[in-house]
Amino acid sequence: MIDVQSQRDTRKVPLKKVGVKDVRYPITVRDKAKGEQHTTATFNMYVEVPHHFKGTHMSRFLEILNKFRNGVSIGGFHDILDAMRIRLDADAAHLSIAFPYFIEKKAPVSGIPSIMDFECTFSGTSGPGKKRDFILGVTVPITTLCPCSKAISAVGAHNQRGLITTRTRFQESVWIEDLIELIEVKAGNRIYALLKRSDEKFVTEQAYNNPMFVEDVVREVYGALHSDLNFTWFSVECENFESIHNHQAYAYTDFERKPSAAKKTAGGAASSALKTKNRALKKSAAAAAARSANGRPANGQKSNGRRPAKRRVSAKTR
């Protein structure tokens, strides 16, 4: 049958992204505690289309998705992208996966377990010359209490639910659970699916004793990510759904790690030590050459390279 998509296009307009969007599909992802977890994800899959091709083959995206759906992981993410590039004969491929990830959490006082869901994203690209990119995104719900409201109120203070979203690049693979834990610890006030009265009292009082603006939340999470050298780039944002306003409060920042000063200092020290060692070797070689030239130690030195010790004369023999 005729392949219309592969026919030549004469308008000379290359397309950056062509593919399928908002495809919902069941997948299996890696789980730190249980090995694997079944969930449902939303996929966006695109490839570049050069100016001389009329289009791409949309059905092939679904064939690739079906092949990899039982093993979606950070480590295997680029296997999907490579398959897209090869199967669709494209220079570059783009993929994003959004899915709820479920973690069991115990209430802070009663210890009763319940299941919390966290929105996660895998996104990345694969281009020519093995150019690759991968970003892990995690959204964590929290509760916050307004420091200003607490400071000016005789009784109580207004609080609200918020969302912290981080997007990270890293060198060594990161567990979703570990990133969520880092965020919850720094944000201070966690959210739980199930709370008994003793738990609710604890959570309410904890928020009251730990008031935070969105600016505070972002800076605390930023500090934790910045101190971990595994993260090469990250962004942090916090959105609070205000309880006494008809708008949201929002803060954002990001960071890209440059070569550390420590590495530069270590490299400079190693270079200096090497230069010192080379100078010592040259000096030793010169002394050996001088000895071999006249058959005697150079500069009045003994044959072992040391100067002869001065002779001590006793006062009684003078």
Position 239 in a domain: yes
Q: Which of 100-109, 122-131, 270-279 has the highest mean pLDDT?
A: 100-109
Contact 86, 72 (CB under 8 A): no
Which of 151-155, 217-221, 302-306 bottoms out in mean pLDDT, i.e. has the lowest?
302-306
Tally of structural domains, the chain:
2
Q: Write out pLDDT tens, residues 93-118.
A: 999 999 999 999 999 999 999 999 99
* pTM of the predicted model as reported, rounded to 2 decimal places: 0.77
Same domain, residue pair 60 and 173: yes
Q: Residues with Cβ < 8 Å from 50, sequence gap 6 or more?
A: 14, 91
Phi, then psi, of 184 in degrees rounded to 5: -65, -40
Decide if 79 contacts 34 (C-beta within 8 A). Answer: no
Residue 71: per-residue pLDDT: 78
Residue 20: beta bridge partners?
A: 45
Q: How far is CA 282 from CA 16, 272, 305, 306, in A?
A: 60, 16, 14, 17
Assess if residue 186 is contained within a domain.
yes
Does residue 51 surpass a pLDDT of 90? no
Q: What is the pLDDT of residues 148-191, one digit of tens each?
A: 999 999 999 999 999 999 999 999 999 999 999 999 999 879 99
Please check whether residues 215 and 279 belong to one and the same domain: no
140 burial via Cβ count (<10 Å: 0-12, 13-18, 19+): buried
By three-state DSSP, how is residue 161 classified? strand
**Domain identity same for 66 and 195:** yes
Q: How confident is the model at residue 260 (pLDDT cuts 50, 70, 90)?
A: low
Query: Which domain, by its residues, includes 93?
Result: 15-258
Confidence of residue 90 (pLDDT cuts 50, 70, 90): very high
For residues 181-206, average pLDDT? 95
Q: How confident is the model at residue 308, as a pLDDT?
A: 53
